[in-house]
Structure 1
Amino acid sequence: MKQEAALQPPLTKSGLENPTRRTLLLGSAGAMAAVSLLGFSPLAKADEPKSLPDYAAWKERNALIVHSANTMETERGAIGNGVITPSDRLFVRNNLPAPPASITDDPDAWEVHIEGVKNPRNLTVGELKKMGVTTVASVLQCSGNGRAFFPHGASGTQWSVGAAGCVMWTGVPLKDVVEALGGPVDGAKYITSSGGESLPDGLDPKTIIVERSVPTRAMSSAILAWEMNDEPLTHTHGGPLRMVVPGYYGVNNVKYVKNVALSENQTDAKIQVSGYRVRDVGVKGATDQPSMWEMNVKSWVTSPLEDGRSGRTMIYGVAFGGTVALKKVDVSVDGGKTWKQARFLGPDLGPYAWRPFVLAADLPAGEHRVVSKASDVDGNTQPEGRTENERGYGHNGWSDHGVTVTLS
C-alpha cells in the first residue's frame, strides 16, 4: 500500500530506524522511581548502549534492545529459527519494579491465596506441585508489540517485533486447583490474578497494582507456572510463581502471583478498568472498550535483514495464531503483489506456540520488500494495515512488519 510504504523508516536489524532515536517514555514519578529502584540510569549518551539492570544481568546483552530498566526487546535477528526462545534472549516487560530477588531462594515456600472457590485457602508452590502438573508451549507477547509502527506516536515503549517469544511453561493446571478446592462459587465469570510486587507508599494501590481479570473461558488452559524452559522460573520473569494464560497477551500472565480469585466482576484496578483497552486515538480508556485478552494471528520475517548478494535466498520468520492453530503462512518478496506459501519448520507444539517458517526464493539484484501473512484454521488472516488506536495495541498488519533488503 503506497501510503503505508511512505511511512516506513530506514530499517536496521530490528526492522526500525536507528534505535538511538527512540525515546525513553517515563510519564510519571512512579516510572522514574521504578528506574531508580532497579539501579538503571536512563541518562546514557545516545551513542552508548544501555547496560542491563541487575535483575536481568544474566541476559544475553547483544540479543536485546534495552529501552528502559523495565523494558528489553529481543532483536529481530536474534529471534532465530527455533520453536523455543532461549530464556536469555526473551524480552522483558515489567509494569512495576520486581520484588526482591530473594523470593526465589526458597520457591516452594511462596504462597498464593485462592478465593472464589468453595474452600478458599493459601497454597504454597510446594503444595501446588502435588496437585498436578502440565507443560505447555505458548507465545508470550506484549500488547504493544509493533507499537513503533504507528505514525501517531503512541505512548509507551516503542516495540518493533521483539516484545514476543515462545517458551515452555510447566506448572499445575488452574482447573485442577479449583476442582481440588471444591469448584468455583456460583456466578464466577472472571479469573482475577494479583501480582506480588511491593507497591510504593502514598499511592492508592488500585491505581498501580498489577491485577488482571480474564474470562473464565481461559480456565481450560491457564496454569500456575513454576518453570520456564525446563528451569525454575526466574525472578526476572515472575518467579517463583506466575499465572500463565496461553494465547492471551502478556499483561494477563501476572508475575509473582499472590492472589487468584474467581469473581463475578472484573477487578476495579486501573490496569483493568482503563488500561490495556483498545480505543480510538485521543480517547481515554473505559470499561466499554475491548480489553487486551486473546491475541490475534500474526507473523513476521526474521531473516534476511541485511543487504546481500542476489540469488538463492532463504527467508525465515515466525507465526502464531493466538488461541487458534495456524493453517499456513504466505510470503511475498514484492511488497504483497504476489505470494508463495512457506513451509513450517520444526515440531508443532500446539495451538499456543509459534511456528517458524521458511521459503526458498531466487531473488535478482535490486530492492525487495519481504513480508509474510499468516492464516489460522478458523479462517482469520493478517490484514495488510494496522488498526489505529491510542496505545498502539494488537498490531498484526503484515505491511508494517516487513523488511526491505537490497541485493547486488
Structure 2
Amino acid sequence: MVMPPNSRTESVTDPALKNPSRRRLLVGSAGALASVSLLGVVPLARADEAKTLPDYAKWKDQTALIVHSANTMETERGAIGSGVVTPSAHLYVRNNLPPPEEEIVTNADAWEVSFAGVENPKSLTLAELKRLGVTSVASVLQCSGNGRAFFTHGPGGTQWSVGAAGCVVWTGVPLKDVLETLGGANADAKYITGTGGEELPEGLDPKTLVVERSVPVAALDQAILAWQLNDEPLPVSHGGPLRLVIPGYYGVNNVKYVKSIAFTKEQTDAKIQASGYRIRDVGEKGAPDQPSMWEMSVKSWITAPLEKARQGRNMIYGVAFGGVHDVAKVEVSADGGESWKEARFLGPDLGPYAWRPFVLALDMSAGEHRIVSRATDSNGNTQPPERTKNERGYGNTSWKDHGVTVNVA
C-alpha cells in the first residue's frame, strides 16, 4: 500500500489550527474550563496546566492528538494517514460527562446490563452476553460536532476541525441476538433506548444529566454491545467495559458504559435527547420535534498534503465514508472545485459503515492550490459544497470547508 507523507503539519486554513497555541493544548473559554457540558450543568474536567493527557487517556499517543480538554481530544488531521483502521492510541475522545474510574474495567465480566421492553426482562452480565454470540464490525465513529470549527456564527462546544472521527473495529454481541434470547421486543417498541453508567451528582434532576439516547428500532439490524475495540478490551476512555454501538450513527448514540437497554414506544425525555443534539436554527432552543443527530451522511476530507508540496506529481490522500450506506466514489479537485478527477480507494473494503482511504496522483504547478474532495454514496447522495447552518454546528459535511490550501514550490 502506498503511504502518505509522514508529515503532521496542518494547513493554516484549518480554523482549529490558525492559532498555534491550540495545537495539542487546551482551548480557552469556548472549549474547556469556562464551558459546561452539553447538558449545561456539570463542568467538564480540564487537563492539567502542563497540557498533558488526563490519566484515563495516558496510554494514547499525544503527538497524534489535540487536547482541547480532559474530556475532548481530537486526532490531528495529519495523523489520520491512509489506513482503514484508526489506531486506538490516535482515536479521538469525547465525553459528555467525566468518565467512571478505571476500576470498572478490572472485572469487566461482572458488569451488568438490564433489559426492558422485552418479553422476558432481566439483567445480564458481560460474561453472559459473551455466550450469546459474537461479531465484529468496522465503522466510523464521529462526533456530531465534527467540523464545527468551520461555522462562522460561533457555535458553542468544542471547536472540532476534522479529527473528531475515526474508523475502528468493534467486537461484541449483536443486539438482535440478545433480544431473541429475551423473547423479543414489545409490540409497540419504536426505539432502542440506551442508558450510560456515569456517576451522576446528587441533588440534581438525573434527566438533565444522564447520557441516555433513543434511536429508531430499525437500527437493531446493525446494533451491537461491544466489549472490544480494535481487538483489545474496551478501555474506559472509549466506553469500557461495554458500549452500545450503532454503526452509521453519530457518536452520541453509541452509549458508553451502557447499563440499561430498553425497547420503548417513545424517545427518552432525558435532556440530551429531548433538546440536545437537535438540528435547529441559530438562536432557537432545542425541542423534541427537531431532527435528531442519528444517521450520518456521506463525507470526505483531505489528509495529505496539508500545507506544502513540490511542483510536479503529488499523491493526494484522504478518507471518505457514506454513513449508513457504502461510499461509492470520491472525486478530488486541486482548484477549489472548478474541475474534478476521480480518486481510487486504498486497502480493503471493510463494509458499508467503514471509511475508505483514497488517493489521487496529480500533477501540480507552482503556486497556491485549494485541494478539496467530495464523496458519493451507493444511494447517489453526494457531499454538498456548503454547510447547513445550525445553532450547535452539527453535521458539517461541506466539501468546501473540509479542503486544505497547499503551497506548491
User: Counterpart of 1:191 in 2: which secondary structure?
Assistant: strand
**In 2, distance between residues paired with 1:87 and 1:368?**
33
Aligned to 1:283: 284
Q: Structure 1 residues 24 and 354, CA, compared in 2 at 3 Å: closer, same or farther? A: farther
Aligned to 2:267: 266
Structure 2 unmatched ranges of 5 or more: 1-9
Q: Is the 8 Å Cα contact of residues 24 and 157 (structure 1) preserved in structure 2?
A: no
Q: How many Å apart are 1:305 and its aligned residue?
A: 0.7
Aligned to 1:386: 387
Aligned to 2:35: 27
Q: How many Å apart are 1:31 and its aligned residue?
A: 6.6
**In 2, distance between residues paired with 1:403 and 1:130?**
48
**In 1, distance between residues paired with 2:202 and 2:81?**
42
Deviations 1:221-275 (A, max 9, x none): 0000000100110111000000000000000000000000000000000000000
Aligned to 2:7: none
Whether 1:376 aligns to 2:377 is yes
**In 2, distance between residues paired with 1:345 and 1:97?**
37
Q: Is the 8 Å Cα contact of residues 279 and 390 (structure 1) preserved in structure 2?
A: yes
Deviations 1:280-316 (A, max 9, x none): 1110000110000000000000000121321110000
Aligned to 1:212: 213
Q: How many Å apart are 1:33 and its aligned residue?
A: 4.5
Whether 1:76 aligns to 2:81 is no
Deviations 1:142-193 (A, max 9, x none): 0000000000011000000000000000000000000100000110000000
- Percent identity reads 67
Aligned to 2:110: 109
Q: How many Å apart are 1:98 and its aligned residue?
A: 0.6
User: Counterpart of 1:34 in 2: which secondary structure?
Assistant: coil
Q: How many Å apart are 1:19 and its aligned residue?
A: 4.8
**In 2, distance between residues paired with 1:13 and 1:296?**
21
Aligned to 1:3: none
User: Counterpart of 1:67 in 2: which secondary structure?
Assistant: strand
Structure 1 unmatched ranges of 5 or more: 1-8
**In 1, distance between residues paired with 2:75 and 2:15?**
9
Q: Structure 1 residues 206 and 191, CA, compared in 2 at 3 Å: closer, same or farther? A: same
Q: How many Å apart are 1:12 and its aligned residue?
A: 6.3
Q: Is the 8 Å Cα contact of residues 15 and 76 (structure 1) preserved in structure 2?
A: no
Q: Is the 8 Å Cα contact of residues 12 and 305 (structure 1) preserved in structure 2?
A: no
Whether 1:93 aligns to 2:101 is no
Deviations 1:4-32 (A, max 9, x none): xxxxx971688741252553433349776
Q: Is the 8 Å Cα contact of residues 13 and 305 (structure 1) preserved in structure 2?
A: no
**In 2, distance between residues paired with 1:232 and 1:32?**
29
User: Counterpart of 1:361 in 2: which secondary structure?
Assistant: strand
**In 1, distance between residues paired with 2:214 and 2:351?**
24
Aligned to 1:50: 51
Q: Is the 8 Å Cα contact of residues 13 and 306 (structure 1) preserved in structure 2?
A: no
User: Counterpart of 1:35 in 2: which secondary structure?
Assistant: coil
Q: Is the 8 Å Cα contact of residues 119 and 183 (structure 2) preserved in structure 1?
A: yes
Aligned to 1:5: none
Aligned to 1:403: 404
Measured on the aligned residues, the alpha-carbon RMSD in Å equals 1.6
**In 1, distance between residues paired with 2:43 and 2:285?**
25
Aligned to 2:235: 234
Q: Is the 8 Å Cα contact of residues 42 and 97 (structure 2) preserved in structure 1?
A: no
**In 2, distance between residues paired with 1:342 and 1:11?**
25
Aligned to 1:358: 359
Aligned to 1:189: 190
**In 2, distance between residues paired with 1:249 and 1:186?**
27
User: Counterpart of 2:259 in 1: which secondary structure?
Assistant: strand
**In 2, distance between residues paired with 1:214 and 1:74?**
27
User: Counterpart of 2:195 in 1: which secondary structure?
Assistant: strand
**In 2, distance between residues paired with 1:342 and 1:126?**
45
- Normalised to the residue count of structure 2, the TM-score between the two structures is 0.93
Q: Is the 8 Å Cα contact of residues 192 and 211 (structure 1) preserved in structure 2?
A: yes
- Code of the aligned partner of 2:375: A
- Code of the aligned partner of 2:219: A
Aligned to 2:167: 166
Aligned to 2:3: none
User: Counterpart of 1:239 in 2: which secondary structure?
Assistant: coil
- Code of the aligned partner of 1:23: G
Within 5 Å, give how 1:301-320 maps onto structure 2.
301-320=302-321
**In 2, distance between residues paired with 1:79 and 1:15?**
16
**In 2, distance between residues paired with 1:13 and 1:178?**
45
- Code of the aligned partner of 2:137: V
- Code of the aligned partner of 1:27: S
**In 2, distance between residues paired with 1:285 and 1:50?**
33
Q: Is the 8 Å Cα contact of residues 114 and 123 (structure 2) preserved in structure 1?
A: yes
Q: Is the 8 Å Cα contact of residues 12 and 18 (structure 1) preserved in structure 2?
A: no
Deviations 1:94-133 (A, max 9, x none): 0001111000001111000011100010000100000000
Name segments (4+ residues, structure 1) moved above 2 Å: 12-16, 18-34
User: Counterpart of 2:69 in 1: which secondary structure?
Assistant: coil
**In 1, distance between residues paired with 2:234 and 2:192?**
22
Q: Is the 8 Å Cα contact of residues 249 and 323 (structure 2) preserved in structure 1?
A: yes
Q: Structure 1 residues 33 and 211, CA, compared in 2 at 3 Å: closer, same or farther? A: same
Q: How many Å apart are 1:323 and its aligned residue?
A: 0.3
**In 2, distance between residues paired with 1:389 and 1:162?**
20
